[in-house]
């Protein structure tokens, strides 16, 4: 069992001939992922590491089962690429592209929801089920990816791609390991928030606890606190909130586009208070996460 992706998960890469996409396509293939096609308009007929390139998504979906797509096209084309994937019937969509205005992100999420598709990101790195499948660019070269992500019992959701790897590395070193790790994206409007995804971890037998990495800005953590109070979840949650120094610097943005303290609910202090009140363990330091998880799962 795993969350969203699995051993037979087949996906495509939109924008496969871009520099970053070439890298992660190779890394995913080396990791054992099943990439069955790529799309770059005007470059149909080529190959990328043995993966055939097409001009349109439909050329692939008409002949094969496509479970997901990784979108990493330039900013101006990202919403269009997502609409193309949704209309071709793809249900799991990862958008790596950074800098998409929230109006466009909101419109794409709404369209995806109307068509029963799920969107992760934008401004995310994707999903890893250790040693089973990698869907996106999370974790870097396959050999490094195997070092940082070992199979285990902790589900991870993070607003930062880099910190997803950092936290999974810590969980791996501690021997707890990772069930599924999801880089959910650092933008103010993202397709799937903690609350959208936590029921999937809840249903996953491998997962015994969930770790979230949070940042200033937005209501996602308050929402998770509310969800935790309203649902009798079997999963203990451990949270880490970065950017606490930003409480002293209202209006300034550091880290990601969604990372700014304008309203009370944006503030790390407010997020930590709400989550603690809901019974979520809040780690003071990133290094405390594995021990807190152990305490909570009694291991």
Residue numbers 12-71 binding another protein by CB under 8 A: 23
Burial label, 272 (beta-carbon count in 10 A; 0-12, 13-18, 19+): buried
Question: Interface with another protein includes 84 (CB under 8 A)?
Answer: no
The window from 28-36, 45-53, 105-113, 271-279 that contacts another protein (CB under 8 A) reads 105-113
Q: Which of 4, 82, 171, 189 binds another protein (CB under 8 A)?
A: 189
Q: At what angle do helices 220-230 and 268-277 cross, to 10 degrees?
A: 10
Residues 6+ apart with CB under 8 A from 91: 67, 68, 116, 117, 118
Q: Which of 8, 110, 175, 291 binds another protein (CB under 8 A)?
A: 110
Question: Interface with another protein includes 285 (CB under 8 A)?
Answer: yes
- For residue 264, the minimal CB distance to another protein (Å) is 7
Q: Which of 38, 121, 177, 186 binds another protein (CB under 8 A)?
A: 186
Q: Which of 101, 132, 146, 294 binds another protein (CB under 8 A)?
A: 101
Question: Interface with another protein includes 109 (CB under 8 A)?
Answer: yes
Nearer to another protein, 69 or 160 (CB): 160
How far, in whole angstroms, is CA 155 from its chain's centroid? 11
The window from 3-11, 63-71, 134-142, 202-210 that contacts another protein (CB under 8 A) reads 134-142
- For residue 204, the minimal CB distance to another protein (Å) is 23
Residue 260 DSSP symbol: B
Residue 15 DSSP symbol: T
Q: Which of 40, 72, 180, 193 binds another protein (CB under 8 A)?
A: 193
Binding footprint of another protein, residue count (CB under 8 A): 72
Q: Measured on CA atoms in the order 25, 30, 34, 36, is the torsion positive or negative?
A: positive
Nearer to another protein, 43 or 294 (CB): 294
Burial label, 174 (beta-carbon count in 10 A; 0-12, 13-18, 19+): middle
Nearer to another protein, 59 or 247 (CB): 247
Residues 6+ apart with CB under 8 A from 9: 33, 34, 67, 68, 133, 135
Residue 51 forms beta bridges with which residues?
Answer: 48
Residues 6+ apart with CB under 8 A from 263: none
Q: Which of 63, 64, 262, 291 binds another protein (CB under 8 A)?
A: 262
Question: Interface with another protein includes 229 (CB under 8 A)?
Answer: no
* Angle ∠(189,132,294) on CA atoms, nearest 5: 75
Question: Interface with another protein includes 256 (CB under 8 A)?
Answer: yes
- In angstroms, the Cα distances linking 195 to 24, 200, 233 are 28, 10, 12
Is residue 256 annotated as a catalytic residue, yes or no? Answer: yes
Nearer to another protein, 8 or 277 (CB): 277
Q: Which of 97, 165, 180, 281 binds another protein (CB under 8 A)?
A: 165
Catalytically annotated residues:
256
């Amino acid at each position: 069992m795993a969350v969203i992706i699995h051993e037979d998960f087949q996906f495509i890469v939109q924008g496969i001939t871009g520099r970053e996409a070439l890298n992660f396509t190779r890394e995913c293939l080396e990791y054992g992922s099943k990439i069955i096609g790529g799309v770059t308009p005007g470059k149909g007929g080529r190959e990328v590491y043995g993966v055939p390139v097409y001009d349109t998504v439909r050329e692939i979906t008409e002949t094969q089962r496509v479970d997901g797509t990784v979108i990493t096209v330039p900013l101006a084309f990202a919403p269009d690429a997502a609409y193309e994937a949704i209309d071709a019937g793809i249900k799991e969509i990862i958008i790596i592209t950074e800098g998409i205005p929230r109006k466009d992100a909101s419109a794409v999420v709404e369209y995806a929801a109307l068509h029963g598709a799920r969107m992760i990101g934008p401004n995310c790195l994707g999903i890893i089920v250790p040693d089973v499948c990698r869907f996106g660019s999370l974790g870097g070269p396959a050999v490094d990816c195997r070092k940082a992500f070992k199979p285990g019992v902790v589900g991870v959701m993070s607003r930062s791609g880099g910190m997803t790897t950092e936290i999974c590395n810590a969980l791996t070193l501690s021997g707890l390991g990772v069930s599924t790790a999801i880089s959910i994206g650092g933008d103010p409007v993202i397709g799937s928030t903690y609350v959208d995804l936590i029921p999937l971890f809840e249903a996953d037998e491998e997962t015994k606890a969930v770790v979230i990495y949070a940042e200033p800005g937005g209501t996602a953590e308050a929402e998770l606190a509310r969800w935790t109070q309203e649902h009798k979840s079997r999963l203990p949650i451990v949270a880490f909130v970065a950017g606490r120094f930003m409480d002293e610097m209202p209006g300034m943005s550091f880290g990601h586009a969604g990372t700014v303290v304008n309203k009370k609910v944006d503030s790390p202090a407010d997020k930590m208070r709400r989550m603690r009140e809901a019974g979520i363990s809040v780690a003071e330091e990133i290094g405390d996460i594995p021990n807190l998880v152990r305490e909570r799962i009694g291991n």
